Amino acid sequence: MYYFPEPPYFLIVFGLFAGLASGAAFEATLKQKVMEWSKYRSTRTLAQMRGFELQLPFLGIGTGICIFLASGIQIFGFPSWLSYSLALPMTLLISFLVWSQLGKLLAQLERGGSRALDLDV
């Protein structure tokens, strides 16, 4: 007889909630930073403004999504060590790509203003 552990449904909900809540905090902080930069046109570049205030919610997004992905993999019967060893590299890679793209977008916004981000072309 095989024993299948109960899937971590609570962790799925928790990971999704943590990712969404951290995403809302990230959005609000990013908007505040861009508005502050736009208002005062400080000597600091927008890419340099990616400090601890943005890194903390971004870390929360990554952690929540990693828990969500690993728990989703566990639903299919995989052990937790395998689930997290698959979810962690995926989350780290995607987080790195998003963070670098954010830096490029902020640099583009700084060079050309909001018209530089016109995506309707």
Tens-place pLDDT, residues 64-92: 999 999 999 999 989 999 999 999 999 99
Q: pTM score, two decimals? A: 0.82
Contact 37, 51 (CB under 8 A): no
CA–CA distance, 62 with 27 (Å, rounded to integer): 14
Answer whether residue 6 shows pLDDT above 60: yes
Give me the mean pLDDT over the 14-18 stretch. 96
CA–CA distance, 65 with 58 (Å, rounded to integer): 11
Contact 19, 64 (CB under 8 A): yes
Grade residue 35 by pLDDT with cuts at 50, 70 and 90: confident
Task: Choose the weakest-confidence range: 20-24, 32-36, 44-48.
Answer: 44-48
Residue pointed to by tokens 């609570």 = 10
Could you report how far apart the first and last alpha carbons of the chain are, in Å?
61
* Residues in CB range of 115: below 8 A, 6 or more apart: none
Could you tell me the two tokens for 67? 């828990």
Answer whether residue 19 shows pLDDT above 90: yes
